[in-house]
Chain A
Amino acid sequence: GQQLNQSPQSMFIQEGEDVSMNCTSSSIFNTWLWYKQDPGEGPVLLIALYKAGELTSNGRLTAQFGITRKDSFLNISASIPSDVGIYFCVVGANSKLTFGKGITLSVRP
Chain B
Amino acid sequence: DVKVTQSSRYLVKRTGEKVFLECVQDMDHENMFWYRQDPGLGLRLIYFSYDVKMKEKGDIPEGYSVSREKKERFSLILESASTNQTSMYLCASRRLAGVLGNEQFFGPGTRLTVL
Taken together as a complex, chains A and B put the C-alpha atoms of A40 and B43 apart, in Å, by 15
Question: Of A31, A41, A102, which contacts B109 at CB under 8 A?
Answer: A41
For the complex, is A99 an interface residue (Cβ under 8 Å from B)? yes
Chain B residues in 8 Å Cβ range of A99? 35, 42-44
The contact string, 1 if C-beta is below 8 Å from chain A, for chain B 12-38, is 000000000000000000010001000
A98 to B44 alpha-carbon distance, docked (Å): 7
Kindly state whether residue A60 has any CB partner on chain B within 8 Å.
Answer: no
- The answer to whether B90 touches A96, judged by C-beta atoms less than 8 angstroms apart, is no
Q: Which residues of A contact B107 (CB under 8 A)?
A: 42
Asked if A88 meets B109 with Cβ closer than 8 Å, knowing A1-B59, A95-B97, A95-B98, the reply is no
The answer, among B41, B59, B90, B103, for a CB contact under 8 Å with A48, is B103
Q: Interface size (A, Cβ < 8 Å)?
A: 21
Name the B residues within 8 Å of A67 (CB-CB): none
Q: Given the complex of chains A and B, what is the CA–CA distance between A49 and B7 in angstroms?
A: 33
A40 partner, pick from B92, B106, B108, beta carbons under 8 A: B108
* Distance, CA A30 to CA B98, complexed state (A): 12
B108 close to A41 (CB less than 8 A): yes
Contact A88 B4 (CB under 8 A): no
Q: Which of B69-92 contact A (CB under 8 A)?
A: 90, 92
Mark each residue of chain A from 48 to 67: 1 if its CB lies under 8 Å from any CB of chain B, else 0. 10100000000000000000
- For B45, what are the chain A residues with a Cβ–Cβ distance below 8 Å? 96-98
Report A-chain residues with C-beta under 8 Å of the C-beta of B90.
Answer: 42-43
A33, B92: Cα distance in complex, Å: 15
Interface contact B40-A9, CB-CB below 8 Å: yes
Q: Which of A31, A88, A99, A100 has the largest count of B CB atoms less than 10 A from its CB?
A: A99
Cβ-defined contact, B109 with A97, below 8 A:
no
Q: Considering the complex, give the chain A residue whose CB is closest to the CB of B59.
A: A1
Q: Using a CB–CB distance below 8 Å, which chain A residues touch chain B? A: 1, 9, 31, 33, 40-45, 48, 50, 88, 95-102
